[in-house]
A = this chain, B = another copy of it.
């Protein structure tokens, strides 16, 4: 029996997607599994083109943006962004709103001068400082921020409007969960394992004029220009199965009504959960200000921390899995990405209320 999986990633996938993958696993096309097709075959090229078309359509991606599906996770983008966009001796601005934006900044610091435009790390409940208060560098090469911080559950409500430099956004945990205006960005990147598919590929949406300026010491695989200039669909052997799964997930999102519908559902799920937390008279509590609470990662804590292990154990017993907070933070965290059905969140809320009734 399938459980509700609240993991932050790899995360739950839509059941119809898994069922289709299962049905086609032995003979996808040409009498072979999609795991067995060469990335240079006509069948895989068609798959890659369909995937790109779907992504362009769902996110309304303008033609002056190139889309890459790259290996190595968002962590690799932490290096690729400065290696490609930050010439020696130049400055980039980083906005710190949690663990992942800090990791991105620390990696970039190894390559050039980094200005921390703002940080929200000194105050709880967590907020995001107003863009007007950010200390931006006049001639920064780019401004990097993390649209959703998975660990603490902090999400930007709107694209920060800046004018000094191209905006680079890590949208690993919320790409495809809401409409976005891609034209406001220089680069958007997102690893697959939250809303896009299984782990193994990272989507990079990059304005073409930002490609071609990599530093001389950039490894071949980390140079966006090498991927741009490669024979389609990819520079080196692609994980064909992961690519295929992303295609199935995109088709599912389209079939469900697109990112606007995803946004509505995610808001509904998040509201349910935050209301349950806020109405618990402090038995559960959030450490994030209401206006920046993530719609996709909902961390919360119990008034009595010694009850947290019991909460997690009993939840798992009724099929509510992977609710432990990040190992650096403890507490509880419910990740409720696109593939988490409303029924899963309702089951969690019912469990929380019953747990509070018994232990409160």
Which of A6-14, A91-99, A155-163 faces chain B? A6-14
- Interchain CA distance A83-B222 in the complex, whole Å: 13
- Interchain CA distance A111-B218 in the complex, whole Å: 10
Whether the Cβ atoms of B19 and A220 lie closer than 8 Å is no
**A343 part of interface (Cβ distance < 8 Å):** no
- Interchain CA distance A78-B356 in the complex, whole Å: 56
**A305 part of interface (Cβ distance < 8 Å):** no
Whether the Cβ atoms of A36 and B19 lie closer than 8 Å is no
Whether the Cβ atoms of B199 and A239 lie closer than 8 Å is yes
Whether the Cβ atoms of A31 and B18 lie closer than 8 Å is no
For A71, the closest partner residue in chain B by CB is: B71
Complex copy number for this chain:
2
- Interchain CA distance A11-B237 in the complex, whole Å: 11
Whether the Cβ atoms of A22 and B19 lie closer than 8 Å is no
Whether the Cβ atoms of A30 and B3 lie closer than 8 Å is yes
- Interchain CA distance A40-B322 in the complex, whole Å: 10
**A177 part of interface (Cβ distance < 8 Å):** no
Q: Which of A307-360 contact B (CB under 8 A)?
A: 319, 321-322, 327
For A237, the closest partner residue in chain B by CB is: B199
Q: How far is the CB of A319 from chain B (nearest CB, A)?
A: 6
Whether the Cβ atoms of A2 and B32 lie closer than 8 Å is yes
* B contact residues around A80 at 8 Å (CB): 219
Whether the Cβ atoms of A241 and B198 lie closer than 8 Å is yes
Whether the Cβ atoms of B38 and A12 lie closer than 8 Å is no
* B contact residues around A35 at 8 Å (CB): 10, 13, 18, 198-199, 245
**A39 part of interface (Cβ distance < 8 Å):** yes
For A322, the closest partner residue in chain B by CB is: B38
In the complex with contacts A219-B222, A321-B31, A321-B32, A193-B237 CB distance below 8 A: yes
Whether the Cβ atoms of B237 and A10 lie closer than 8 Å is yes
Whether the Cβ atoms of A72 and B75 lie closer than 8 Å is no
Contact of A36 among B11, B33, B71, B220 (CB under 8 A): B11
For A221, the closest partner residue in chain B by CB is: B76
* B contact residues around A30 at 8 Å (CB): 3, 5, 321
Whether the Cβ atoms of B8 and A31 lie closer than 8 Å is no
Contact of A22 among B26, B73, B321 (CB under 8 A): B26
- Interchain CA distance A15-B80 in the complex, whole Å: 38
Whether the Cβ atoms of A9 and B31 lie closer than 8 Å is no
Contact with B along A229-260 (1 / 0, CB 8 A): 00000011111111001000000000000000
**A183 part of interface (Cβ distance < 8 Å):** no
Whether the Cβ atoms of A26 and B19 lie closer than 8 Å is yes
* B contact residues around A268 at 8 Å (CB): none
- Interchain CA distance A235-B73 in the complex, whole Å: 11
**A46 part of interface (Cβ distance < 8 Å):** no
* B contact residues around A31 at 8 Å (CB): 1-3, 5, 319, 321
- Interchain CA distance A79-B313 in the complex, whole Å: 45
Whether the Cβ atoms of B71 and A73 lie closer than 8 Å is yes
Whether the Cβ atoms of B25 and A83 lie closer than 8 Å is no
Supplied contacts A1-B27, A10-B39, 10 more A-B pairs, CB within 8 Å: A5-B31, A12-B36, A13-B36, A18-B33, A32-B321, A71-B71, A75-B221, A80-B219, A107-B220, A199-B239
Top 7 nearest A-B pairs (CB, nearest first) are A3-B31, A200-B239, A79-B219, A35-B198, A71-B71, A22-B25, A75-B236
A and B contact pairs by CB, cutoff 8 A, 6 listed: A9-B237, A10-B36, A22-B26, A31-B321, A110-B217, A241-B242
